[in-house]
């Protein structure tokens, strides 16, 4: 017998986002051993600059890894540590977070809490800020995993803030008010606004004007703001990234909570203070990584454009928000799912359907580009061209 928490559907594991992963794991692509397998384009992982990190580690492997001036730090690491994280690591992490944000903002290490990844940080915030049955407003489209991470164990509800392609999925004042009204109809108490900046899956960052809109709205409603900024280090093009701290109003300063991570910037879920302390290396790494992300995105966008498929203009992230509405048999979410199944099963491409991100319009897909070799991305584009040919009955050169 299992608990109702385990058997309920609020975990979101039946989403097409996770089902695609299951299909991939049954038949994963390998250029040598399984060249006809499914290519994983649903994983927002940054592998483009692993060689830089590997070179750093090779140069800095030392026998005295646990040594410091005055003796070994082994005892310091082995004995009791502050619940909020190692002070030394928090110091260099705060400095790195500021540098990624062009030193426009500073982070107080006394207000910095370390967790095992952004997922647990987001869930912890839900436990701290809301009661079961309370709600958070989230702009759509949003990362499919939030249905699990924010709701499942906390009992918190998500009310979508709807957006559309007519204004490139920008958040509007009317959409914010409509979401509040929807929460009221559902008898839900709104405790906060949850944003992802830069956006996953859009790959766009919020402007200062948009942030001011969100802050003013939250002040008027007397609610919290959680700003998930884990993609802040992936901004590879203009406009520059603007953290919500830059727009912070003293009236809401105690109700704004920022989530950050190293997994998207450095491609390392578990990094070390020693790497972050190497300012020269980090500076060069960030610049080169942004260059590689920009070039890789250009490669995907250019390849898709030749097939007649367009992408939302973006400046950040590890993915593109791809418009495949012309390939739908009808402008419905049922047709979107049929197209997605065809991509996975017949053309060996696992991408994330817009419906899994709660997009209000069928036909949009999140396609990741930074988790594979260049040759694999080229093959992915060829498979998409074949998909277009099969759907539209044309031969795309």
**How many other β-carbons are positioned within 10 Å of the β-carbon of residue 2?**
6
Is residue 26 part of the annotated active site? The answer reads no
Is residue 230 part of the annotated active site? The answer reads yes
Determine contact, residues 159/136, Cβ cutoff 8 Å: yes
Selected catalytic residue, list 138, 171, 225, 230? 230
Is residue 264 part of the annotated active site? The answer reads yes
Distance CA 106, CA 95 (A): 8
Q: What is the distance, to the nearest Å, from the Cα of residue 222 to the centroid of all Cα atoms in its chain?
A: 27
| Residue 257: closest CA among 192, 208, 175, 164 | 192
Selected catalytic residue, list 143, 149, 225, 384? 143
First to last CA, the chain: 57
Distance CA 309, CA 111 (A): 45
Selected catalytic residue, list 264, 282, 323, 384? 264
**Could you tell me which residues come within 8 angstroms of residue 330 by beta carbon, excluding any fewer than 6 positions away?**
none
Residue 276: exposure state from Cβ atoms within 10 A (0-12, 13-18, ≥19) = buried
**Could you tell me which residues come within 8 angstroms of residue 66 by beta carbon, excluding any fewer than 6 positions away?**
72, 73, 74, 77
Is residue 57 part of the annotated active site? The answer reads no
Residue 99: exposure state from Cβ atoms within 10 A (0-12, 13-18, ≥19) = middle
Q: Which residues pair with 138 in a beta bridge?
A: 160
- Rounded to the nearest 5 percent, the helix, strand and coil shares of the chain are 45, 15, 40
Residue environment code for 244-268, b if the CB has 16+ CB neighbours within 10 A, otherwise e: bbebeeeebeebbbbbbbbbbbbbe
Indicate the helix (H) or strand (E) that contains 136.
Answer: strand 135-139
**Could you tell me which residues come within 8 angstroms of residue 325 by beta carbon, excluding any fewer than 6 positions away?**
331, 361, 362, 363, 364
Selected catalytic residue, list 149, 228, 265, 323? 228
Q: Which residues are catalytic?
A: 143, 228, 230, 264
């Amino acid at each position: 017998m299992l608990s109702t928490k385990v058997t309920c559907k609020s975990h979101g594991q039946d989403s097409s986002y996770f089902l695609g992963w299951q299909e991939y794991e049954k038949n994963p692509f390998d250029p040598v051993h399984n060249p006809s397998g499914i290519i994983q384009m649903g994983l927002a992982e940054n592998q483009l600059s692993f060689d830089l990190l590997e070179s750093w580690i090779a140069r800095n492997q030392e026998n005295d890894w646990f040594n410091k001036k005055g003796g070994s730090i082994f005892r310091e690491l082995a004995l009791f540590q502050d619940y909020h994280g190692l002070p030394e690591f928090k110091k260099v992490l705060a400095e790195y977070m500021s540098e990624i944000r062009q030193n426009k903002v500073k982070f107080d290490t006394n207000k910095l809490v370390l967790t095992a990844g952004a997922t647990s940080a987001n869930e912890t915030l839900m436990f701290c800020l809301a009661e079961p049955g309370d709600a958070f407003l989230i702009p759509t489209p949003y990362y499919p995993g939030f249905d699990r991470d924010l709701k499942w164990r906390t009992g918190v509800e998500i009310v979508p803030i709807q957006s559309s392609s007519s204004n490139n999925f920008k958040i509007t004042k009317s959409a914010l008010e409509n979401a509040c009204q929807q929460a009221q109809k559902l008898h839900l108490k709104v405790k906060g606004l949850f944003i992802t900046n830069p956006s996953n899956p859009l790959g766009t960052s919020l402007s200062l004007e948009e942030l001011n809109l969100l802050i003013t709205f939250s002040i008027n409603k007397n609610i919290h703001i959680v700003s998930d900024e884990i993609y802040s280090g992936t901004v590879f093009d203009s406009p520059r990234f603007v953290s919500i701290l830059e727009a912070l109003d003293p009236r809401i300063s105690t109700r704004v909570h920022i989530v950050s991570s190293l997994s998207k910037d450095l491609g390392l879920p578990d990094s070390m203070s020693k790497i972050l302390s190497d300012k020269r290396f980090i500076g060069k790494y960030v610049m080169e990584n942004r260059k590689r992300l920009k070039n890789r995105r250009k490669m995907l966008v250019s390849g898709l454009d030749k097939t007649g498929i367009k992408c939302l203009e973006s400046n950040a992230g590890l993915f593109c928000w791809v418009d495949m509405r012309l390939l739908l048999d009808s402008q419905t979410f049922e047709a979107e799912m049929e197209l997605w199944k065809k991509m996975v099963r017949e053309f060996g491409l696992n991408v994330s359907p817009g419906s899994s991100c709660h997009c209000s319009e069928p036909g949009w897909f999140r396609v990741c580009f930074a988790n594979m070799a260049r040759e694999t991305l080229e093959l992915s584009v060829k498979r998409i061209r074949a998909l277009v040919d099969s759907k539209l009955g044309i031969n795309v050169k």
